[in-house]
């Protein structure tokens, strides 16, 4: 005897309501007209790639940072309206951003 049968025995007059379907809406990132800046810096002797210039919300930028970090399997952070990625991954990051529809400008080196 499953749960529905047990509930039917306990509450014989109850009519189950039809189940509501919840539609999952994919979160879309704001694609801007101005290009994002992808630059290379050395911080404390280590190579870092910095992405700046996103005009959307901070939450969208954090989601974008997480996607980049997982696709490249590298560490990084979101700080002061910029994404800081460990290592020199400018070319790979630029291709990822272009696939998403962003305009990207390469700066430095």
Residue 60: CB atoms within 10 Å: 15
The two tokens of residue 11 are 């509450």
Identify the pLDDT of residue 58: 85
Output the pTM of the full model: 0.69
The larger pLDDT score, comparing residue 17 to residue 36, is at 36
Identify the pLDDT of residue 23: 65
* Burial class, 68, CB count within 10 angstroms (exposed 0-12 / middle 13-18 / buried 19+): buried
From first CA to last CA, the distance across the chain in angstroms is 70
Q: What is the mean pLDDT of residues 10-18?
A: 79
Residue 102 predicted with pLDDT over 90: no
DSSP label at residue 106: E
pLDDT tens-digit series, residues 19-34: 766 666 666 666 777 8
pLDDT tens-digit series, residues 45-89: 999 999 998 888 888 888 889 999 999 999 999 888 899 999 999
């Amino acid at each position: 005897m499953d749960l529905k049968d047990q509930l039917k025995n306990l509450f014989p007059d109850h009519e189950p309501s039809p189940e509501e379907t919840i539609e999952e809406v994919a979160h879309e990132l704001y694609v801007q007209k101005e290009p994002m800046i992808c630059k290379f810096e050395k911080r404390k002797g280590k190579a870092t790639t910095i992405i700046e210039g996103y005009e959307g919300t901070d939450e969208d930028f954090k989601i974008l940072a997480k996607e980049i970090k997982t696709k490249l399997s590298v560490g990084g952070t979101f700080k002061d309206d910029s994404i800081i990625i460990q290592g020199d991954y400018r070319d790979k990051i630029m291709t990822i951003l272009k696939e998403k529809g962003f305009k990207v400008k390469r700066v430095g080196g």
